[in-house]
Chain A
Amino acid sequence: MTTTELTREPEVITADYDSPSARRLEKIWKTSPGLIGWLTSVDHKEIGKRYLVTAFAFLIIGGLEALIMRLQLARPEQHLLTADQYNHLFTMHGLTMIFLYALPILSGFSNFLFPLLLGSRDMAFPRLNAFSYWAYLAAGIFLYLALMHDRTPDAGWFNYTPYSLRQYDPGQGMDVYALGMVLLGISTTVGSVNFVVTLLQMKAPGMSINRVPVIIWGTLTASVGNLFAVPAVSLAFFMLWTDRNFDTHFFDAAHGGHPLLWQHLFWMFGHPWVYAIVLPAMGIVSDGLPIFCRRPLVGYTLVAMSTVLTMFIGFGVWVHHMFATGLPPQSLSFFGASSIVIVIPSGVAVFAWIATIFTGRPVYTTAFLFFAGFIFLFTLGGVSGFMTAAVPVDWQLTDTYFVVAHLHYVLLGINFFPVIAGIYMWFPKFTGRMMNERMGKWNFWIMFVGFNLGFFPMHWLGLIGMPRRVYTYPTGMGWDLPNMIISIGSFLFSAGILLFFINVFISLRRGPKAGRNPWDAPTLEWSTPSPPPSFNFVVIPSIATRHPLWESRIGESEGGSKLEEGMLLDNGKQTISTTALNGEPQVILRMPEDSWAPLLMTLALSALFVGMLYHWWWFILAAMAASIGVTIAWLWPRAELGQTAEEHHG
């Protein structure tokens, strides 16, 4: 080819996955085997699986930290841990679960599923996608590097100043936390950009915005929220780093700074983040529950809108984390009210799910049980949140075990239970095999009973005044029995999780082969083979309804989606871009090949952050030069990507 092709009329054919066209596409799209292929792959399915595996690894680490704490707290006046060790453990447990597990696990689902749900062959930025994974991994390793120093972070996951300032917390553990969070913020940000632009650009023809699955709404909302919220925490941690290392005074009251600035910046991020780590999971429920209730979701539009509304209000509730800091009454009233109002959109979703179950014909699979269990836990967690939204109640409950109970009901209930349900549901799509349902039911009941045994008594402990974050307690306070029950419950819960992992490993090898659509589900990902080929779709489907695979049954067949007839796009890595709202084809996108750039970029950035940690100035300069070099190479205008009209020579 001597000149670049700038326009083309896409060839439309009818083809299935055993056709010659499919074989040709496989040649074009597949990642080369071996280590090089593994390190350079930009396949969104590969990246999604890596996110899932890595996030589960961090879940296990964080879980072990929790179990050690529960051993310590099982009985009064124990000395298995020192107070100092306990501080490190609860801090690492919190930051691991919240930052290294909760969002990345959802990114795993979304990365794997986005193009499949949208009827596309890839994400909008495949290389950026690979980079966001590598940078997440690097940040996770970086944060745990603190173990190699004398001190890990120990001021709690929200790391309040002045505790976290140098004079009160010397040692580099805190600097590792500060810089690690900035690095993780980069990963989260580019990941969010990718999700939003993918939704805007990559929907199948005809998939207007009101036809996308709810998990897409959840991830879109979470990503937009992250774009606005993550800079707050990155900035706060960066300021903390300069306060600790270069004597700036952002949080230092003696020189005109203010410790509460930290709390404001942290929770301006922190509360939207809470919604970012639950809304995509609620999306999993909204898409999964209808499959097992054998009917479409009740109130799709309301649920989608309430998702967006939750995030919108979620930016106006951050002060409810700070009710006990002595703020003026006007501020308390406003944020108390907004924290109560936010119950409304969540309530809409809950009633939509309940109505879906009531009017459907439920099939009691493991995934269904986890969805139903989720609704129960979400309601409980919502009620305890509603209680603490009332300022006077909050004053009584701040920093007690009641808050610990609330946040675990919310985060485990709304994030972890849907995640496990999502694995049971999409495992066939991820791996081509079914998970064991019998073990799955045991799995659910052990987890559900263990969870409630482990966390429900915490409400009571908080009400009778046990503060959080104490490493031990005297006997005779009435706290002994609840603590013992909690510890037993937490081990039972862990046994349930262990059973889940055992089920995963056994099913990976011996699970029965799944067909394309083992659950008879309505959305596009189930029209592809399990697991899907590298190119996802032989022909680009065109979509006429919300449930393309159920059309013949639920009377939505007018117009009819076309799954086997569509654009072929087989001369190079290509997919179609459609208009953001209506899904009308607008341009043929040329997609990049596998690339070293994401990994090299991560290495350069990691070196930069290590240099910053140790103040190696020349090393920092070299790392910056390297990252600039990689960026320029990455973005070099390429004729094969249609970025330049320049002619090829030779």
Chain B
Amino acid sequence: MAEMVGRPGPLEMGSTGHKASGWWGMWMMIFTEASLFAYLLFSYAYLGMQSHGGWVPEMPKLQIALPNTVLLLASSLVLHWGESGIKKGRKGRLVAALALTVVMGAVFAGLQGLEWHNKTYGPSADAYASTYYMTTGFHMAHVLGGLLMLSTLLVWAAMGKFDARRHVAVSIGALYWHFVDAVWLAVFATFYVSPYLVSGHG
């Protein structure tokens, strides 16, 4: 048994798929980032529970936020399409998908900026406003980080760095982007949906 363990046959070399350290490293980053958002949402819930009525100053408007959410989720699908392409060696499809994802993410960021612009209050209005801007602000920082990551991957993909056998950077970047999208759902549900579900809101 030990004979076999210490004497394996031919092995892949380097960073490949889910055997790459970077893939696991990104999962660990996601655990810790997800915790960050959990603590942000805890702060929202805690301060809301401790407030004496009138926690939410005005019911959140969904005109921009809802379509924007759909857009962000759709961008994940596009990216996944690109990633599955490079697994079959389709470099053009990867470049196209990365470019489209970057555009969709940028539109999301722009619309979220517009959403901020439309608010009648700033981050120092009260504790609700502070939590809202802090949480969506942290999310925006993650979107911008993700866009930077995807743009870099786009350049690398265009330079021909990736093919069917070596493309782990793409998988890791995509994993991060999927996280940014998934965590937005939690932020969206907390700030935009929950006030409609809680009875007796201000």
Contact = CB atoms under 8 A, between A and B. Distances in A.
B18 to A, nearest CB: 10
A235 interface: yes
B168 A645 contact: no
Contacts of A642: 13-16, 166
Interface in A227-245: 227-232, 234-235, 239, 242-243
Given A562-B6, A632-B152, A637 B46 contact: no
B175 interface: no
A231 B42 CA distance: 12
B51 A256 contact: yes
B196 interface: no
A544 B133 CA distance: 55
B14 A6 contact: yes
A322 B198 CA distance: 29
Given A12-B6, A205-B5, A646-B160, A7 B12 contact: yes
Contact of A542 (B6, B162, B169): B6
A540 B51 CA distance: 60
B148 to A, nearest CB: 7
B6 A124 contact: no
A248 B134 contact: yes
Given A197-B25, A234-B36, A559-B1, A265 B43 contact: yes
What band does the interface of chain A fall in when counting residues whose beta carbon is under 8 Å from B?
35 or more
A201 B2 contact: no
A128 B21 CA distance: 12
Nearest to B166: A645
Interface in B44-72: 46-47, 50-51, 55
Interface stretch (B77-85, B94-102, B123-131, B186-194): B123-131
Contacts of B6: 12, 205-206, 540-542, 562, 565-567
Contacts of B160: 646
B35 to A, nearest CB: 4
B168 A7 contact: no
B107 interface: no
Residue from the set A246, A256, A560, A584 with the largest chain B CB neighbour count within 10 Å? A256
The DSSP consensus for interface residues of chain B is: helix
B200 interface: no
Interface string A374-401: 0000000000000000000000000000
Contact of A586 (B11, B40, B165): B11
Contact of B12 (A124, A565, A588): A588
B32 A6 contact: no
A97 B99 CA distance: 49
Interface stretch (A169-177, A188-196, A459-467, A480-488): A188-196
Contacts of B7: 12, 567
A256 B15 contact: no
A384 to B, nearest CB: 30
A8 B8 CA distance: 10
A268 interface: yes
Contact of A641 (B12, B15, B19): B15
Interface string B147-177: 0100010001000111101101100000000
Contacts of A268: 39
Given A228-B35, A268-B39, A586 B19 contact: yes
A567 to B, nearest CB: 7
Contacts, number: 205
Given A7-B10, A264-B46, A632-B152, A250 B130 contact: yes
Contacts of A632: 152
A542 B2 contact: yes
A433 B131 CA distance: 56
A650 B36 CA distance: 47
B20 to A, nearest CB: 8
A474 interface: no
Given A544-B2, A643-B169, A257 B162 contact: no
Given A196-B28, A250-B47, A567-B6, A643 B13 contact: no
The DSSP consensus for interface residues of chain A is: mixed
A5 B10 CA distance: 12
A57 to B, nearest CB: 28
B130 A257 contact: yes
B158 to A, nearest CB: 12
Given A248-B124, A265-B39, A645-B163, A9 B9 contact: yes
Contacts of B133: 248
Residue from the set A4, A562, A635 with the largest chain B CB neighbour count within 10 Å? A635
Interface in B80-132: 123-124, 126-131
Interface string A178-204: 000000000001001110110011000
A250 B12 contact: no
Contact of A232 (B39, B55, B126): B39
Contacts of A260: 50
Contacts of A124: 21, 24-25
Contacts of A128: 25
Contacts of B51: 256
B86 to A, nearest CB: 11
Contacts of B148: 628
A7 B46 contact: no
Contacts of A586: 11-12, 19
A6 B12 contact: yes
A151 B6 CA distance: 59
Given A242-B130, A261-B43, A577-B21, A587 B16 contact: yes
A228 B134 contact: no
A75 to B, nearest CB: 45
Contact of A585 (B5, B31, B33): B5
Given A248-B134, A261-B47, A256 B25 contact: no
Given A231-B36, A265-B39, A588 B11 contact: yes
Given A229-B35, A234-B36, 20 more contacts: A9-B9, A10-B8, A192-B32, A194-B25, A205-B5, A230-B32, A235-B36, A250-B127, A255-B127, A256-B55, A256-B128, A260-B50, A542-B5, A542-B6, A567-B8, A576-B11, A584-B5, A635-B152, A643-B166, A644-B162
6 contacts: A194-B25, A230-B32, A247-B124, A256-B128, A642-B15, A645-B166
